[in-house]
Amino acid sequence: MPAEMGYRSITDEVAGAVFAKPTRLWMALVGVSFLGVVLLFVSIWVLLAEGVGIWGINSDVVWGYAVANYVWWIGIGNAGTLISSMLLLTRQKWRASINRYAEAMTLFAASIAGLFPLLHVGRPWLVHFMTPYPNTMDLWPQWRSPLVWDMFAIACYILFSLLFWYTGLIPDLATLRDRAKTRFVKVAYGLFALGWTGSSRQWRAFNAYYYAMAALGVPLVISIHSVVGLDYAATLMPGWQETIFPPYFVVGAMFSGFAMVVTLTIPIRWGLGLEAIITRNHLDAMAKIMLFGGLVMTFSYSFEWFNAWYLGNEVDRAHVVAQFTGQYWWLYWLMLACNGAVPQLFWFRLCRRNLVILFIAGVLINLGMWLERILINMNTLSHGFLPATDSSYTPTFWDWSLFLGSFGLFCFLFFVFAKVIPTATIHEIRELAHKEGAAR
């Protein structure tokens, strides 16, 4: 953040996007994404009316797109809070420009992820059976069920992320309250600002609470996505029963989350005119983290191959062979290219600072991570312990519509968020500009 920008210019640039008149492009994007929301609700309606048989799942491949989409969305969701918490605790200056929309991404993605386990059970109106409460029949949740683990993981994570995001938002809501032109808008922002005046006492309490929440957030995110990895590792299926799955899923969440942040950053930076707030140095730093994530993911894949060879289990070896040469071989090679080869571009500074390359790489990495979630289900469940259990999975129209609809809901929520909430943290950027100016 350049120290030459004063407090007023920083506030004008970030808050100005909120109070500016909606553009035709913004309205068109909101309209297109709303069509995705309609598609999502139609897909859910048909699912509840007809049952899970409208999907491509069968008696062997019992986990299809719904579970894969859940893991993909919760991975993207976990990354936002993890990114914000870790960068805050390590005092990274460039955090202030990206943490607001990264945390918003967390809330939207985690909320969408929570839909898929509910829909996958086929009877979401009985979801209360997963919660421990003193009922008349003395029934308690099946604690060995991954579905119960996921319910607690998602609920805890959404509550924590909401509190963490809202806490960091309070000073900026007060700024919007003071700059609002109409009484209704002033009262609306004032209610959510909770009477913030910016006194030294409030700032001391704010910083103490905010850093404590960040310190809690890192282990919480790691534990939650480890639980998602244990959904697979706790089984006896070949290709799943691996101790590397919990850390492998955590790194994968960070990897896909940073890729999604980069994918969102470039259009936000251009569309809201935040080039002075979100600089190429920020993108350079995020590209380096994606490079690290790509190296770790490549190591994880190679460890999986080595583990199958070293243990000498013929079923595990057959599973690895099926990954490279089976019916989904082209998807597996595409996944390796997206997650392993594409990040290697970021060894070069030119690629790390090129907006087109960064955007395309972010999209390809997210595609690769989605394919990984799909293949974890399809490859393993298609090839069991016996040849008689070999099967295949072919997604139906309703598999695709539910996924595309969920993506439409994510985009719709993000477009609305960018219009009513500052996408960058005003108070942190002003503090950073003050420190840089004092240092000079």
Q: What is the pLDDT of residues 317-350, one digit of tens each?
A: 887 888 888 888 898 999 999 998 999 999 999 9
CATH architecture of the domain 7-436 equals Up-down Bundle (1.20)
Write out the H or E segment, with its range, that includes residue 149: helix 146-179
Cα–Cα dist 85/210, whole Å: 9
Cα–Cα dist 383/381, whole Å: 5
**Domain definitions of the chain by residue range:** 7-436
Average pLDDT over residues 261-265: 86
Going by pLDDT thresholds of 50, 70 and 90, the confidence category of residue 385 is low
Say which range, 152-161, 233-242, 340-349, 397-406, has the weakest mean pLDDT. 233-242
Within 8 A by CB and 6+ apart from 271, the residues are 25, 26, 418
3-state secondary structure of 140: coil
Write out the H or E segment, with its range, that includes residue 50: helix 24-50
Ordered DSSP codes for 349-399? HHHHT-HHHHHHHHHHHHHHHHHHHHHHHHHHHHS-SSGGG-------HHH
**Is residue 428 within 8 Å of 95, Cβ to Cβ?**
yes
Q: Is the pLDDT of residue 39 over 90?
A: yes
Neighbours of 91 (CB within 10 A): 7
Q: Is the pLDDT of residue 312 over 80?
A: no
Cα–Cα dist 284/350, whole Å: 9
How many helices and strands (H and E) does the chain possess? Answer: 15, 0
Average pLDDT over residues 146-174: 84
Task: Tell me what pLDDT residue 16 has.
Answer: 67
**Is residue 352 within 8 Å of 287, Cβ to Cβ?**
yes
Q: Is the pLDDT of residue 198 over 90?
A: no
Average pLDDT over residues 263-274: 81
* Residues 41-80: b if buried by 16+ CB within 10 A, e if exposed: eebbeebeeeebebbbbeeebebbbbbbbbbbbbbbbbbb
Going by pLDDT thresholds of 50, 70 and 90, the confidence category of residue 361 is very high
Average pLDDT over residues 162-177: 87
Task: Tell me what pLDDT residue 93 has.
Answer: 74
Q: Is the pLDDT of residue 97 over 70?
A: yes
What are 394-419's pLDDT values in tens digits? 888 998 999 999 999 999 998 888 88
Cα–Cα dist 9/87, whole Å: 25
Q: Is the pLDDT of residue 3 over 70?
A: no
Angle, alpha carbons 61-67-69 (nearest 5°): 125
Ordered DSSP codes for 258-275? HHHHHHHHHHHHHHTT-T
Higher pLDDT, 187 or 425: 187
Burial of 81 (0-12, 13-18, 19+ CB in 10 A): buried
Average pLDDT over residues 432-437: 61
Q: What is the pTM of this model?
A: 0.85
Average pLDDT over residues 72-84: 80
Average pLDDT over residues 295-301: 89
- Give the mean pLDDT of the chain: 83
Task: Tell me what pLDDT residue 333 has.
Answer: 93
How much of the chain, in percent, has pLDDT values that exceed 70? 92
Average pLDDT over residues 99-118: 86
Say which range, 67-71, 223-227, 264-268, has the weakest mean pLDDT. 223-227
How much of the chain, in percent, has pLDDT values that exceed 90? 14
Average pLDDT over residues 275-283: 80
Average pLDDT over residues 46-57: 87
What are the angstrom distances between the C-alpha of 277 and each of 95, 414, 440?
11, 19, 19
Task: Tell me what pLDDT residue 391 has.
Answer: 75
Average pLDDT over residues 122-131: 78
Q: What token pair was written down for 300?
A: 């994880």
